[in-house]
Amino acid sequence: MFQRMKSDIQAIFDNDPAARSTFEVVFTYSGLHAIWAHRVAHWLFRKKRYTIARVISQISRFFTGIEIHPGAVIGQRLFIDHGMGVVIGETCEIGDDVVLYQGVTLGGTGKEKGKRHPTVGNNVVIASGAKVLGSFTVGDNSRVGANAVVLSEVPANSTVVGFKARVVKRDGVRIDRLDHASLPDPVVDMFRIMQEQINELRAELKKEDKENERNGGTVFHDTKNL
C-alpha cells in the first residue's frame, strides 16, 4: 500500500513542474486526495459495502471537487491535474500512467445497464473539458484534445479533437490538419443556413406573386419584410 502511495506521489512530480516538495504534494494536491479516498471507497465497494463506499466518495467530492464512483477501476500512477469538475463513472476502467485535466468527464450516454463507461488505456492524456461518453476503449498512448466530445473508440497511439471528436494523428503521422485559426462557429453556421432557407422561401413567394399578378390575381405576400 505504501509503495502504491509513493508511486502516486511520484506521478505528480513526473507530470507537474510546479510540484516542489513531498510535503506540498501530500497536503495540497486535491487530485491525490481524491485518488487515495477512492482506493478506500473501492475496497469497500468490492466488499459490497456500497453505502459507506458512496459516502466516502461523496465526502471526497465535497472537499476535492472530483467525483469518482467507488466502482471505477483505476490503475497505477493516475495524475489528476487541477481536478475540479472531473467525473469518473461507475464502470469506467483506467489504465496506468493516465493524466486527466480539469473538467474531464468519463461518463455514459444514457440509462443502459452493465458496462456503460469508457475504458482508458495506458499512458493516455485527456485534456481540460473533454467528455468521453460511452462504453468503448481509448487506446494506449492516445491524446484527447481540450473540450473534445468522444463518442466512439479511439485507436491506440492517436490524437483526437473536436465535437464530434475525430482522429487527427495516428502512430505519430498527422492524418487531418486542425487549423485553430479557422475553426467553424456552429452559431454562425446555423444563421447562415437559416438565411439561405429564408432567401429560398422569398424567391418562391416572389415567383408565386408574379404568377398571380400575371393572371390578374391578388398579390398576397410582402416579401420585403421577410
pLDDT at 207: 82
Contact assessment for residue 175 and residue 155, using Cβ atoms and an 8 Å cutoff? no
Encode pLDDT of 72-114 as tens digits: 999 999 999 988 999 999 999 999 999 999 999 999 987 778 8
Model confidence at 212, in pLDDT bands (50, 70, 90)?
A: confident
Pairing of strands 149-150, 158-161: unpaired
Model confidence at 178, in pLDDT bands (50, 70, 90)?
A: very low
User: To the nearest whole number, what is the mean pLDDT of the chain?
Assistant: 86
Burial of 101 (0-12, 13-18, 19+ CB in 10 A): buried
Rounded distance, CA 56 to CA 61, Å? 9
Radius of gyration of the chain (CA): 26
Q: How far is CA 115 from the centre of its chain?
A: 18
Encode pLDDT of 135-176 as tens digits: 999 999 999 999 999 999 999 999 898 877 667 667 666 665
- Asked whether residue 186 carries a pLDDT value surpassing 80, the answer given is no
Residue 129: what are its φ and ψ, rounded to 5°?
80, 0
pLDDT at 176: 54
In Å, how far are 74, 121, 173, 174 from 157, measured between CA atoms? 20, 10, 10, 11
pLDDT at 211: 77
**pTM score:** 0.72
- Asked whether residue 183 carries a pLDDT value surpassing 90, the answer given is no
